[in-house]
């Protein structure tokens, strides 16, 4: 082998060596915990001790335990996540569209202004909304003060609608960014061509702008649908009994019930469904197209 070939080989090896630290931390803090949890999901818990029984009973129990409560909770959580996703995109898209088309040189100032208030803890944000929407909160106080209601409204908080609202309102600002990037990549000449051919503003939006911004929309779905599917903080604070989600059940299995194998099985089922959703979205639009929306 010539010295030139040795040099090329060394450069190639050096290139792969730069990946070692990242791969190491990824394996240590992601794949190893997942592997441990996957093993636990086939074990049993007896008198607070893990027993390596290697059984599928924990997965069966998700469907059968408490008359199918957990599988119903899983489906309910998926529906709430879809609703939060639709609501978030419904709020984020008009904002992103306005910034992209009309903000001019202040575009990125608008983006930073929208994101800035959300650079604080998610829990603090939740408690902030609690002081506004709860039974004794600001909204009820003001409505009673001006005489529109005689007693506080109960349905503003501690229900599934409150959970969807706080999830949507918290995620919407973050979805502005991928949608904005997708809109910015649309060639202005296409919009001008549509107008020259007699298309109205609505027709131009529906036939040109919206289809070309779909990668950003799907990336926004990635951002919110999968994380909110396993949410447990928002339901715990804002949901009450009717707003419970599957993530709360997983947390309870590990903490209150101290049933790690059952909790691991529930978590793995959630992970599997999340991977399936991600795979469907990738197949729908293509990984390369999604990455272009970043």
Instruction: Give the domain CATH number at 172.
Output: 1.10.3720.10
Q: Are 240 and 156 in contact (CB under 8 A)?
A: no
* pLDDT at residue number 258: 87
Other Cβ atoms less than 10 A from the Cβ of 165: the count is: 20
In this predicted structure, the answer to whether residue 293 has a pLDDT above a threshold of 60 is no
Distances in Å between the Cα of 71 and the Cα atoms of 44, 66, 188, 244, 252 are 20, 10, 48, 13, 15
Residue 73 lies in a domain: yes
Please write the tens of the pLDDT for every residue from 86-128: 999 999 999 999 999 898 888 989 988 888 877 788 888 889 9
pLDDT higher for 75 or 240? 75
- Give the mean pLDDT of 230-247: 88
Q: Are 267 and 61 in contact (CB under 8 A)?
A: no
* pLDDT at residue number 222: 82
Residue 273 lies in a domain: yes
Q: How many domains does the chain have?
A: 1
Residue 100 lies in a domain: yes
Q: Say if pTM beats, i.e. exceeds, 0.95.
A: no
Residue 214 lies in a domain: yes
Structure tokens of 123?
Answer: 């829990």
Residue 15 lies in a domain: no
Place of tokens 């086939």: 42
Buried b / exposed e across 186-206, counting CB within 10 Å, b at 16+?
A: beeeebeebeeeebeeeebbe
* pLDDT at residue number 90: 94
The rounded percent of the chain whose pLDDT value lies above 70 is 93
Structure tokens of 13?
Answer: 């090896």
* pLDDT at residue number 96: 94
* pLDDT at residue number 50: 87
Residue 50 lies in a domain: no
Range of the domain at 99: 68-292
Residue 225 lies in a domain: yes
Distances in Å between the Cα of 74 and the Cα atoms of 13, 163, 242 are 46, 15, 14
Structure tokens of 135?
Answer: 């039974």
Residue 251 lies in a domain: yes
3-state secondary structure (DSSP) of residue 51: strand
């Amino acid at each position: 082998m010539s010295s030139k070939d040795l040099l090329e080989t060394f450069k190639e090896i050096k290139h792969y060596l730069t990946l070692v630290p990242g791969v190491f931390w990824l394996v240590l803090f992601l794949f190893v915990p997942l592997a441990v949890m996957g093993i636990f999901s086939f074990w049993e818990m007896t008198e607070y001790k893990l027993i390596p029984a290697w059984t599928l009973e924990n997965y069966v129990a998700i469907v059968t335990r408490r008359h199918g409560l957990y599988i119903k909770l899983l489906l309910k959580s998926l529906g709430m996540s879809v609703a939060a996703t639709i609501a978030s995109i419904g709020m984020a898209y008009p904002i992103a569209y306005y910034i992209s088309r009309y903000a001019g040189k202040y575009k990125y100032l608008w983006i930073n202004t929208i994101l800035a208030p959300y650079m604080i803890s998610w829990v603090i944000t939740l408690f902030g909304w609690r002081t506004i929407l709860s039974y004794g909160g600001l909204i009820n106080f003001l409505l009673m003060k001006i005489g529109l209601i005689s007693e506080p409204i109960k349905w503003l908080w501690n229900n599934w609608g409150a959970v969807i609202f706080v999830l949507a309102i918290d995620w919407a600002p973050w979805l502005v960014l991928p949608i904005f990037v997708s809109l910015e990549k649309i060639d202005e000449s296409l919009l001008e061509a549509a107008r020259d051919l007699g298309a109205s503003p609505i027709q131009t939006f529906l036939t040109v702008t919206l289809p070309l911004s779909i990668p950003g929309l799907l990336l926004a779905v990635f951002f919110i649908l999968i994380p909110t599917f396993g949410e447990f903080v928002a339901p715990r604070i804002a949901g009450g009994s009717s707003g419970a989600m599957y993530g709360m059940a997983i947390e309870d299995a590990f903490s209150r019930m101290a049933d790690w194998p059952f909790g691991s099985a529930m978590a793995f089922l959630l992970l599997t469904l999340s991977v399936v959703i991600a795979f469907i979205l990738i197949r729908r639009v293509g990984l390369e197209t999604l990455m272009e929306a970043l």
